[in-house]
Amino acid sequence: MLPEMILDSVGRKLVNLLQEGLPLEKDPYGIIARDLDISRSEVTERIGALVDGGVIRRIGGVFDSAAMGYSSLLVGAAVPGEIFGDAAAFVNSFPGVTHNYRRSGPLNMWFTFASGDPGEIDGLLAALRERFGLSSVYPFPKVKHFKLRVFFDMEKE
């Protein structure tokens, strides 16, 4: 577990700005620097510290895979503990895997997968079953799209 990171008022405001999304401009970090009244290099240093400290995981785009011609699904699988790490590494080797979590319960591996090729999805599921001898691998195709906007206000008391 990472040690707790204490953020000053600028750090808290930076986290809020990053949650809202980067400005779609040539120099988004420069714009954030002006908003925070600090230098651009301090913005990038602070972001690096937030990543290193485990406060943020990544900065990147969020794309509508369906609008780009992709199908996506959630997969639940029962994976024995002694092979869980190997199975997770195998699943994570596919570029269309966006999340992979270990959970308690009979289906202890849950991951999402998106691909423009339905055969690739079927291939991943078949390979996972065959390579690791798994009989409980269940695809849950997306029926309806839900998008939750989560915002942790870092500036409120």
pLDDT in tens, the chain (157 residues): 556 778 999 999 999 999 988 988 999 999 999 999 999 999 999 999 999 888 887 887 777 778 888 888 899 999 999 999 999 999 999 988 988 999 999 999 999 998 999 889 899 999 999 999 999 999 998 787 777 777 888 898 6
3-class secondary structure, 12: helix
Domain boundaries, the chain: 9-52, 66-141
Closest CA to 111 of 97, 125, 123: 97
119 three-class SS: helix
Rounded-to-integer distance, Cα 111 and Cα 99, Å: 5
This model's pTM is above 0.75? no
Q: What are the structure tokens assigned to 127, written together?
A: 């390979």
Domain boundaries 66-141, corresponding CATH code: 3.30.70.3460
CA distances from 127 to 100, 106, 152 (A): 17, 20, 39
